[in-house]
Amino acid sequence: MVEERRVSDSRVETVHMVRPNHLNAAGRLFGGILMQWLDEVAGLVAKRHTHSNVITASVDNLRFIKGAYQKDVVVIIGKVTYVGNTSMEVRVDTYVESVDGMRRPINRAYFTMVALDENDKPRKAPRLILETEEERAEWEAAKKRREMRIKRKEEGF
């Protein structure tokens, strides 16, 4: 079994068109729908990285930067930024893409996903191969976020 994978090996990009059934009463993309799409992307990224079942342990720094509206093309990109022992951090960025291909950020979130064995118990996740300066910088930032999560968990927040 391969015990290490590149960030690019598990990168996921999905595209959705915002339709009337995705809107809230104010006519914007309903946040709950977007969160479902984000969770699906994070899960797929983690599955591709681990080649196993995974579970969402937490989501943090979820930022709704701008709204999206009917007929908008929503592009969601997920990638692994950090791997611990059994858990990994997946950053998920969401954009609205205009007809000329320009992408405007509308959301960013960080998911902690846990690799599961055949008994649904946490299992070791493959190491992450960092190839670019950006990936190394993300890893360092993710270490700080992980420390904050552990502290929050310890203190019961």
Q: Is 58 in the site for ligand COA (CB under 6 A)?
A: yes
Question: How buried is 42 (Cβ within 10 angstroms: 0-12 exposed, 13-18 middle, 19+ buried)?
Answer: buried
- SS3 state at 66: coil
Q: Which helix (H) or strand (E) holds 87?
A: strand 87-97
Q: Is 67 in the site for ligand COA (CB under 6 A)?
A: no
Q: Which is nearer to ligand COA, 52 or 58 (CB)?
A: 58
Phi and psi for 124 in degrees, rounded to 5?
-60, 135
Q: Which is nearer to ligand COA, 67 or 84 (CB)?
A: 84
Using CB positions, name the residue nearest to ligand COA.
84
Q: Is 50 in the site for ligand COA (CB under 6 A)?
A: no
Q: Is 127 in the site for ligand COA (CB under 6 A)?
A: no
- Contact yes or no for 70/30 (Cβ under 8 A): no
Residue of the chain from 41, 114, 128, 142 that contacts ligand COA (CB under 6 A)? 114
- The pair of structure tokens assigned to 124 is 């070791």
Q: Is 73 in the site for ligand COA (CB under 6 A)?
A: no
In angstroms, rounded to a whole number, what is the distance separating the alpha carbons of residues 78 and 14?
9
- Choose one: 2-10, 24-32, 50-58, 67-75; the region binding ligand COA (CB under 6 A): 50-58
Where does this chain bind ligand COA (CB under 6 A)? 55-58, 84-87, 112, 114, 122, 149, 153
